[in-house]
Amino acid sequence: MLRSAMAGLLCLLLWLGVCAAADLTKLEWSDCGSDSGLTIHQIDISPMPVVVPGDLHLTINASSTRKQLNQMKLSVHVKRDTFLLNIPIPCLFHVGSCTYDDTCTLLATMQKENWAGIMGDIGRQIQQMLASVGITTYCPAVVQSIDLQDYVLKMPAVPSILSWFAEGNYEATATAVDTATGEQMLCLNLKLTVKEKKEPCTGWLCGRRRRSQH
């Protein structure tokens, strides 16, 4: 169970890192009704705010008492927090508030179709990260625990086709449901802040801008 659930969760975390009121200085997360056989002990992302493009350091510690789980459906609901209201984020190019019908093949599909021009590499990085702790198959999955400590992932720049995702504060709810039984296996709420990396201004025009500000 843990392999397919974690694959879906990692996709969500990294997508928020690309796309994601005061800025948060630490990832906020809470369990909203996961199965009693799955326990998330720790999730952490640094730096916070997440800066894109740039390095993202990910820590996840989780354990399971279930023997195995096969296919799951992952549903993600994302909203952007603003001063006035929370704005729901739609699903576009398989990114946003989307439903993924098969967590068993999710990483392979991401790499094959390369959603939004960036998710192929993100899927590849997640696959390599899971392999680093001995996880190479996802369904059926027999994993008792997963312990990822400060794993570094390369976050890409936000592509132009997702320009409507601006830097800011984002909140997401992710649920994973067993396709065969309809049981909810995973439910997590996540809050984080995203900042775009600002390149230093150089050249004669920058000097003119600085002078005009005084």
pLDDT value, residue 17: 55
The token pair at 29 is: 């997360």
- The helix/strand/coil state of 37 is coil
- ω into residue 90 within 30 of 0, thus cis? no
pLDDT value, residue 143: 67
| Average pLDDT, 10 consecutive residues per value, the chain (214 residues) | 59 57 86 92 95 94 83 93 86 92 93 94 94 85 83 91 79 93 94 85 59 52
Please tell me the distance from the alpha carbon of residue 119 to that of residue 98, in angstroms, as a whole number: 14
pLDDT value, residue 6: 59
Contact 76, 189 (CB under 8 A): no
- The helix/strand/coil state of 184 is strand
- Cα 27 from chain centroid (whole Å): 12
Compute the CA torsion angle 93, 182, 63, 169 (nearest 10 deg).
40
